[in-house]
Structure 1
């Protein structure tokens, strides 16, 4: 019995050592890059910066802490042309000027910033871009979680690959937007 266990252990050890090249190496919890990743762009959907008459930046407390208590039916953030955020949950609202609008637009839809796509499980969003038609009705929204480098894009808008480098750039524009309002 002891001899069989030794043989099985030896076979496992040899198979692990010989197959080690095939196992991806990990660095700080993410897969080491084997080659550059080319950021692909989805061209379906609307680029809201080209369509919206007005863009607002909203700030609120971590939405995931209160969302399920407020809406037990797991509704989306934007549905049927309406924002589903209670008015009293929004702590700040800033209408973007042309400089901020261009900065956010380039960071989201023009610049190819994502060489690595990372997924984190935290998702504690606090910032939202809301796009409006000329008649004042919402067109859609983009929610940003700086902590995990994630985001949400409402249906109908062009999708965005989120990554740490993109959310770092977005953080710069978020800070400028909130500084402008003071």
Structure 2
């Protein structure tokens, strides 16, 4: 059972990094959604201002071209916002991060119950199989909501800098 315990500890570390990586991706995508929305508001306001000059003002070629360029930029931004669907992506990354958090807690509880002698070998094996199933489901869900290498690096840096506290043993994959 010692190899199984060691493997569960490794899975817990993987879940920790997966959780932080997906929360980082969700935060990043939320910022993208915010800034594309702000950009659209500004472009639409500028386009409206330029069109007012065209319709009710002098209607110079310069105003017409400005309105046209701003309208094209707004259209491109709308297409980008719709295609990327940053809000949905951020929600998906948060769901994956929450699933990794649940896995990590389940592993910690399972290891504690084992250490306290509460779980029989059979019960421990059943819980380990259930955890493995959860990991596989979460990994599969995670492929729908990608993260970047920068998200992982930020997760690692955050853990190394004490954003969350873990003992050296908890983070040591080669124990």
Which of the five TM-score ranges fits, normalised by the shorter chain? under 0.3
Larger relative contact order (Cα-Cα within 8 Å, sequence gap ≥ 6): 2
- Normalised TM-score (structure 2): 0.24
- If the length of structure 1 is used for normalisation, what is the TM-score? 0.23
Q: Would you tell me which structure has more helix in proportion to its own residues? A: 2
Structure with bigger strand share is 1
